[in-house]
């Protein structure tokens, strides 16, 4: 079996921008998850404003969380 790895040759500025975006994405994802677990209907506009996201970025956060939750539910059924 072989595995492959891609290494990006990017500038320090691009690396900093990517790290900032990843941090924002992760915080938005965890916030949306916490709101769902607390039974709160998250106001899309509030999260977009709070994290300075575009609508498309918010959709990516929501879809990522939906997929993670679906995967976790399916994994629970495998233990039977």
Across 32-36, average pLDDT: 93
* All residues at 6 or more sequence positions from 25 whose CB lies less than 8 Å from its CB, including other chains: 57, 60, 61
What is the spatial distance between Cα 36 and Cα 21, in angstroms, rounded to a whole number?
22
Compute the mean pLDDT over every residue in the chain, rounded to the nearest whole number.
91
pLDDT tens-digit series, residues 10-33? 999 999 999 999 999 999 999 999
pLDDT tens-digit series, residues 38-52? 888 767 889 999 999
What is the spatial distance between Cα 19 and Cα 50, in angstroms, rounded to a whole number?
18
Is pLDDT at 79 greater than 70 in this prediction? no
């Amino acid at each position: 079996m072989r595995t492959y790895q891609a290494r990006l040759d990017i500038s320090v500025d691009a690396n900093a921008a990517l790290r900032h975006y990843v941090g924002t994405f992760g915080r938005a994802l965890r916030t949306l998850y916490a709101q769902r677990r607390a039974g709160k209907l998250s106001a899309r506009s509030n999260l977009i404003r709070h994290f300075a996201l575009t609508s498309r970025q918010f959709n990516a956060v929501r879809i990522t969380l939906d997929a993670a939750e679906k995967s976790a539910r399916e994994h629970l059924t495998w233990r039977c």
